[in-house]
Amino acid sequence: MSYHNKYKKQGLTRVTQAFVNSGKGFYAAWINESAYRQELYLFITLSIIAILLPIEISHKFILILSMLPVLAIELINSAIESIVDRISMDEHELSARAKDMGSAAVFISLMIVILVWCFILWKNFGTSIS
């Protein structure tokens, strides 16, 4: 049995530790990442707006659900940036590329939110304008 497998947590201990580690990750993002805080504020604001809109509950669900990947991808982007900065603060083409790609992933997730919101709003309110 390898060292890794011998000391690997299992069962409820593993689930509990994963929950604790996730909490630490959320806390670290909240404390250290202004972009994450801004996106979380945006998520809360838009969720409230979605709940208050006079549309079907399934559309409300889609509007809110479309925003969750932004938060997840921002966490991944922040993790990439932390790893790159941990390795070296020196400017390097590969470091810049990794950070830029993470940023591009966040941008794509935000574009998905915009497109979903535009479609749902158009579907509910745009057709009555014509």
Give the integer Cα–Cα distance in Å for 77 and 98.
9
| Terminal-residue alpha carbon distance, the chain | 70
For the chain, give the mean pLDDT: 93
Ranges of each domain in the chain? 1-32, 34-129
Q: How far apart are CA 96 and CA 84, in angstroms?
A: 9
User: What is the pLDDT confidence band of residue 9, given thresholds at 50, 70 and 90?
Assistant: confident
Q: What CA–CA distance (Å, rounded) separates 109 from 118?
A: 14
Given a cut of 80, whether residue 4 has pLDDT beyond it is no
Query: 3 falls in which pLDDT band (50, 70, 90)?
Result: low
Domain 34-129 in this protein, CATH class:
mainly alpha
Q: What single DSSP character describes residue 88?
A: -
For the question of residue 74 being annotated catalytic, the response is yes
Please determine, for residue 130, whether its predicted confidence score (pLDDT) is greater than 60: no
31-63 residue pLDDT tens:
999 999 999 999 999 999 999 999 999 999 999
Q: Which of 74, 81, 91, 93 is catalytic?
A: 74
pLDDT one-digit tens code per residue, 111-126: 999 999 999 999 999 8
What is residue 129's predicted lDDT score, i.e. its pLDDT?
54
CB proximity list for 80: less than 8 A, separation 6 or greater = 98, 99, 101, 102
Q: So what's the pLDDT on residue 10?
A: 83
Q: Residue 6: what pLDDT?
A: 57
pLDDT classification of 21: cutoffs 50, 70, 90: very high
Residue 89: pLDDT over 60: yes
Q: Alpha-carbon torsion 6, 10, 13, 19, what sign?
A: positive
Mean pLDDT, rounded, for 71-83: 97
